[in-house]
Amino acid sequence: MDATTPVAIARPGTGPQPQGHPPLEARRVGVLLLNLGTPDATDFASMWRYLREFLSDRRVIETPRWKWYPILYGIVLNTRPRSSGANYDKIWDRERNESPLRTITRSQAEKLQQAFAGDERILVDWAMRYGNPSTESVMQRMLAQGCDRILAVPLYPQYSASTTATANDQVFSALMKMRNAPAVRTLPPYYDEPAYIEALAHSIERFLGTLDFQPEMVLASYHGLPVSYFQKGDPYYCHCQKTTRLLRERLGWPAERLLTTFQSRFGKEEWLQPYTDKTVERLAGEGVKSMAVITPGFSADCVETLEEIADEVAEVFRHAGGVNFAHIPCLNDTAEGMSVIETVVRRELAGWI
């Protein structure tokens, strides 16, 4: 054999080893569910740490640092931790001492692991982009447990640089610190995935069947995004519109029955419109008495759905003359929600298992 002869090298644990070679541990494929993040507690210090990490992300706030940091450290981080902490406090799980987002994301990972029961090659774990458990710490744990390949699964159906991309950023940032880095794939957005649309439709039909009123309107409320981000090429707005259209077609509803709106504005910049709170106020003023809101862009209920929609927006609607208001829960870890996650994960694992 000369220097130009190719040599087949088996992946550790998958092929024959030379005689006398010490046994190698079988390698595994990791599935890492990634969600936005959550503070560790609702007190000022915990909220300050969480908001500093979140609002220092260049993917989230694209304003130049020299202009943004004086505002962040001089105003925002001196005032917002109290108001945000009060909002989190309304939905905080006292028994577990954690936010619903952490509880649900953990359960999603546990149920996905159960879906792969019997296949020791697959290890499922979960992490947060901001807060704990951090993406880096969980990836290190997965590496230590034998994962030499990891599928990163940002749980955002619609792609945005401020959500999907920044979650992936953390994955690749962690890789940069690893000597023996695993191979990585990232899950594409699944805003038009048939299983996702079907799950949303089924959840709406099932939930509306439990109400003692019939909503005249249903809003599909997505997290907002500055218009400037869309103008720079972010596809998020288009993804949201397509999700709503496909959902409307699946339900067989007319255009005026299911509307797309955007919530959670921050700062003075113009954000994607129509705004959820303004739309609710307008519709109530026009005589709409019964309404429901679904939040298709959130894979798990969190402060933006449980407090902002179910509490604040509901109050806006009733104050403007509305009577009946319902928040349709996210897919969460329901059978429908888990079918979506399992479907897209199994598809992206093709060739690895």
240 by Cβ neighbours in 10 Å (0-12 / 13-18 / 19+) ranks as: buried
C-alpha closest to that of 33 among 114, 125, 131: 125
Q: How many CB atoms lie within 10 A of CB 98?
A: 17
C-alpha closest to that of 121 among 186, 31, 185: 31
Kindly list the distances between the CA atom of residue 62 and the CA atoms of 73, 129, 161, 269, in Å, as whole numbers in the listed order: 16, 17, 11, 12
Cβ pair 127, 154 in contact under 8 A: no
Cβ pair 195, 343 in contact under 8 A: yes
Tokens 């959820």, residue located: 276
The response to whether 205 counts as a known ligand-binding position is no
Cβ pair 159, 237 in contact under 8 A: no
Strands (E), 249-289: 258-263
Kindly list the distances between the CA atom of residue 108 and the CA atoms of 35, 83, 112, in Å, as whole numbers in the listed order: 11, 29, 6
Please tell me the total number of residues recorded for the chain in this structure.
353
Can you name the residues that pair with 126 across neighbouring β-strands? Answer: 33
Tokens 């149920």, residue located: 111
Q: How many CB atoms lie within 10 A of CB 101?
A: 27
Structure tokens, 279? 């739309």
The response to whether 202 counts as a known ligand-binding position is no
Annotated binding residues for Fe(2+): 223, 304
Binding-site residues, please? 223, 304
